[in-house]
Amino acid sequence: MAYKMHLLVCGGTGCQASESAALVENLKKELEEQQLDSFAQVVMTGCFGFCEKGPIVKIIPDNTFYTQVSPENAGVIVSEHVAKGRRVDYLLYKNPEDNTPIAESKNMNFYKKQIRIALRNCGIINPENIEEYIARDGYLALGKVFQELGAENTIQVLKDAGLRGRGGAGFPTAIKWELTRKNEADQKYVVCNADEGDPGAFMDRSILEGDPHAVIEAMAINGYCVGATKGLIYIRAEYPLAIQRLKIALNQARNYGLLGNDILGSGFDFDIELRYGAGAFVCGEETALIHSMEGFRGEPTLKPPYPAQSGYLNKPTNVNNVETLANVPVIINKGPEWFNQIGTEKSKGTKVFALAGKVNNVGLIEVPMGITLREVIFEIGGGIKNNKKFKAVQTGGPSGGCLTEKDLDISIDYENLIAAGSMMGSGGMIVMDEDDCMVDVAKYFLDFTVEESCGKCAPCRIGNKRLYELLDKITKGKGTKQDLEILQNLGGVIKDTSLCGLGQSSPNPVLSTMRNFEDEYHAHVHDHKCPSGVCKSLMTYEIIPDNCVGCTACVRVCPVGAITGNKKEVHLISAELCIKCGACMERCKFDAITVN
Amino acid sequence: MTQDQVKVELKESDVQKIKTICAEFDNNGGELINVLHKTQNTFGYLPAEVQEVVAQGLNVSVAKVYGVVTFYSYFTMIPKGEHPISLCTGTACYVRGADKVLDELKKVLEIEVGETTADGKFSINCLRCVGACGLAPVVMVGDKTYGRVAPEMIKGILEEYQ
């Protein structure tokens, strides 16, 4: 049955957390009750990206884009929009500049500068229905590879397109494929790395949840090109929704003869198995990932031998990241020239970023390489929350660095970010404002690294722990000038001597903040002050006598009895007893308490 | 509750269950992680006694099993609470104040991260990024997600489960 109208509801993790599943149920019920269920259908899609304003409902064909829709709004959408064709104005996105409603996403600043290639189907198709993927040219590229291109030409297409690995390091994808192809063996493997471990990055998960067939198709192409008949997807067990959608997609692909024996009559056999990660950041490193798939602790080993020579079960293995794979079918369909005119000289195409932190528009965005950080943060991101001042943006996760105001106009690509002291990484982009303490931020990332270090090599295992302790000491006001020197030296040693990428990049958050925010480190060490008011040990709460009316509210709320004073008299906080919980400040209605 | 305090006596039927899981994976040592996933799904956690049976079933050393269990944060040797609480400590949640929410949780429940309350009701775990950064900071109780959580909201959330 052909429907005249489609109600697309975001079924990504973020929107599901805001009850989008209940919304879908209510919409279906309303359609039924108002006897419109043969006219319109409800489709649960993957992520639209605009997580800040979720749950999202998009109505096709008129492209109306409703934001922050609650299950209770189902009735009005159906009775007004579906039945009478009238837009429900109060559910539309409001332009933050003049508060006028914007009906279509293409007119929103958040979407204007985006180009969606890897996310092309997210928010458009139902990820649990292979026919919707096929209707959007799905599995066309696979057929083209079999019938027209052949393995070597396909690799050449990727080379001409200039596709580089999206997992972090940016190694040219075609070269990796070629190396694996050249190594003779009775069995080879292709692996999809879906062990997305960066805290604050969720692009791989969104692709798998929103468009799992894109990854499956690309893996089949990958297998054909390198001569592998087995594919493995290494995915975090913490991603239940992505796992469920992958399982559904794999079964559908098998039923359609797109996986299994003699795919599309090509004589090529290929199938994919899932392997579950168990929560270890280091397993994003390809040798560690391979050990984990073999049932061992996920510890990395020295390269060479590269996985292309000896990987899973000592056979040639080609590991690719989810986002990299998602680009492959489109490049084959549209041609390398189309792809390589997007982006910069050395970085082609687009990159997906998880834009989060203190920006107005948190979400998943896909932008052309070469866009500036300023455009991303202030146009797409809509600037800093609560009109605060921009301070830094952290890219590259625990391996990356913090960039500042002066870096806002560099155009984003692999080389430029490294030159600026950070890196592309898998695409986390966390924006920080004046209230964030950069020493504390560095400590946060080191805490992560210490926890996630596999322990195999000493520089990473012991060195990072020492870095953490030094930072902890500084945030407690006990740091010395010498500590700053040690931080610098030790950071350098860990980078130079660690075994794998984790240790080689783990000091970056410390070194980049020390370089860009030297004053803040000095303020902690020399003046025993935290300029952003984050480091508790360096704070003192005081009462401003002129503002205090003696209401005793703070006296009553203080959990340790550190505030004294009678009614209608000015109160006093004992610095010795105070545990700096801030309860008094929250309670005071007269702004009579300040932090120094 | 800490790791050392967990003592379990496995019933014969439990031992059989573990052996069946091992057999499903052909008693292949290379499948250790898959076996542990399935075993943890069945029992809820992986105490030392369970690990011994797994080691026997796959014909690998107990040390190897213990090494793998303790390496990966997803595996736990302590039973989770009836309502396991997971707090996202990803960067987006961190910059929006997840640490203060965690402090409040620890204070109210009087347990540390990775522990379970004495009555077995709640346990606290930290996750790295749930992927709901638009809702940061995020707390999950069981399968239910709470977004934009402030420390003041913790008591109210816990009361839903009392």
pLDDT digits (tens, 9 = 90+) for B12-60: 999 999 999 999 999 999 999 999 999 999 999 999 999 999 999 999 9
Q: Is A532 contained in some domain?
A: no
pLDDT above 80: residue B128: no
What pLDDT digit, counting tens, does each position of A183-214 carry? 999 999 999 999 988 888 889 999 999 999 99
- Smallest CA-to-CA distance from A193 within A293, A339, A47, A305 is with A293
Residue A491 token pair: 């950071």
A313 contacts in B (CB within 8 Å)?
A: 30
Q: Is A574 contained in some domain?
A: yes
* Same-domain status, A313 and A169: yes
What pLDDT digit, counting tens, does each position of A359-378 carry? 999 999 999 999 999 999 99
ipTM of model? 0.90
Which residues 110-149 of A have a C-beta within 8 angstroms of B? none
Average pLDDT along chain B: 91
Q: Is A124 contained in some domain?
A: no
Identify the closest residue of chain A to B88 by CA–CA distance: A199
Amino acid at A244: Q
CB contact under 8 A, B132 and A17: yes
Q: What is the mean pLDDT of residues A262-291?
A: 94
Q: How many domains does chain A have?
A: 5
Residues in contact with A458: Cβ distance below 8 Å, sequence separation at least 6, in sequence order: none
Nearest CA distance, B110 vs chain A (angstrom) = 16
Percent of chain A with pLDDT over 70: 100
- Smallest CA-to-CA distance from A455 within B99, B118, B71 is with B71
CB contact under 8 A, B96 and A358: yes
Confidence (pLDDT) at A580: 84
Q: What is the mean pLDDT of residues B65-92?
A: 92
* Same-domain status, A475 and A408: no
Q: How many domains does chain B have?
A: 2
What pLDDT digit, counting tens, does each position of A542-592 carry? 899 999 999 999 999 998 999 998 999 999 999 888 888 888 988 899 999
Q: Is A121 contained in some domain?
A: no
CATH code: domain of residue B111: 3.40.30.10
Respond yes or no on whether the N-terminal peptide bond of residue A304 is cis (omega within 30° of 0).
yes
On whether the CB atoms of residues A497 and A429 are closer than 8 A, the answer is no
DSSP state of A190: E
Q: Is B40 contained in some domain?
A: yes
Nearest CA distance, A162 vs chain B (angstrom) = 29
* Same-domain status, B91 and B67: no
pLDDT above 90: residue B130: no
* Same-domain status, B47 and B101: no
Dist. CA B118–CA A196, nearest whole Å: 34
- Smallest CA-to-CA distance from A398 within A298, A544, A482, A512 is with A512
Confidence (pLDDT) at B1: 64
Residue A575 token pair: 């610095």
Query: Shortest CB distance from B135 goes to which of A14, A278, A444?
Result: A14
Query: Shortest CB distance from B71 goes to which of A199, A276, A298?
Result: A298
* Same-domain status, A296 and A274: yes
On whether the CB atoms of residues A471 and A535 are closer than 8 A, the answer is no
Confidence (pLDDT) at B143: 80
* DSSP track, A235-255: EETT-HHHHHHHHHHHHHHHH
Q: What is the mean pLDDT of residues A157-172?
A: 93
* Same-domain status, A443 and A425: no
Residue A234 token pair: 């290494």
pLDDT above 90: residue A217: yes
Chain B interface includes A397 (CB < 8 A): yes
Average pLDDT along chain A: 94
Confidence (pLDDT) at A582: 82
CA distances from B88 to A139, A571, B117 (A): 37, 38, 20
Amino acid at B157: I
Q: Which helix (H) or strand (E) holds A480?
A: none
Residue B127's pLDDT band, with cuts at 50, 70 and 90, is: confident
Q: How far apart are the first and last CA of chain B?
A: 20
Q: Tell which of B71, B103, B118 closes a domain.
A: B71
Confidence (pLDDT) at A168: 79
Confidence (pLDDT) at A152: 97
- Probe site for chain A from B95, B96, B154 (most A CB atoms < 10 A): B95
Dist. CA A475–CA A488, nearest whole Å: 16
* Same-domain status, B111 and B142: yes
* Same-domain status, A459 and A558: no
* Same-domain status, B131 and B65: no
What pLDDT digit, counting tens, does each position of A439-488 carry? 999 999 999 999 999 999 999 999 999 999 999 999 999 999 999 999 99
CATH code: domain of residue A162: 3.40.50.11540
Confidence (pLDDT) at B90: 87
Range of the domain at B14: 3-71
Confidence (pLDDT) at A1: 61
Interface size A-B, in CB pairs within 8 Å, comes to: 122
Q: Is A56 contained in some domain?
A: yes
SS3 state at B138: coil
pLDDT above 70: residue A385: yes
Q: Which residues pair with B81 in a beta bridge?
A: none
* Same-domain status, B45 and B8: yes
Q: Is A485 contained in some domain?
A: yes
The 10 Å CB-count burial string (b at 16+, else e) for A148-166 is ebebeebbebbbbbbbbbb
Dist. CA A412–CA A424, nearest whole Å: 8
